[in-house]
Amino acid sequence: MKRTLFLSILIVFFTTSFLSIVGCNNQKSTKELYQLQEQCGKSSEEYYKKNYGGEGWYTSHYNKKLNKCFISYRNLSSGFGLIDIQEHKPIGGCLTNGSCYMLGKGDIKIDEWYKLVKPYMEE
């Protein structure tokens, strides 16, 4: 019994060690993440300048979990929103009249909108 347990533990140890050495995980290196974050920032800046000029502000974020770049923006004339930069796809937004939408959900409250946006801008 002790021998079987010992062998099982040994097998698990060597298997996990081998997988980590060979690199069989999907995690990106620190350098790759930095490059993706930097590219996200540049793409977001270009997108914002092209579509909204300099009126308002924006924040970009590379989401590791989704492997996507998002821009959260505030435009003084149209409102605010969240956009998937790579696909140039609006995720949601709120107009200056206070009406908000998110992922096909129309007419949601601003508080709910912020809760729905949070996971995109935190990972």
The answer to whether 102 and 94 have CB atoms below 8 angstroms apart is: no
Query: Are the C-beta atoms of residues 69 and 86 closer than 8 Å to each other?
Result: yes
What residues form DSSP beta bridges with 95? 79
Looking at the structure of the chain, the number of domains it has is: 1
| pTM assigned to the model | 0.71
Contact 91, 84 (CB under 8 A): yes
If one counts every other C-beta atom within 10 angstroms of the C-beta of residue 24, the result is 8
Domain that holds residue 11: 2-122
Q: Is the pLDDT score of 77 beyond 50?
A: yes
Share of the chain above pLDDT 70, in %: 78
For residue range 41-74, list pLDDT tens digits in order. Answer: 999 999 988 888 877 899 999 999 999 999 999 9
Using pLDDT thresholds of 50, 70 and 90, give the confidence band for residue 1: low
Angstrom distance (rounded) from CA 99 to CA 89: 19
Q: How far is CA 33 from the centre of its chain?
A: 12
Which range (20-29, 39-48, 73-82, 106-115) has the least confidence?
A: 20-29
Mind listing the pLDDT tens digit for each residue in 22-43?
Answer: 444 456 789 999 999 999 999 9
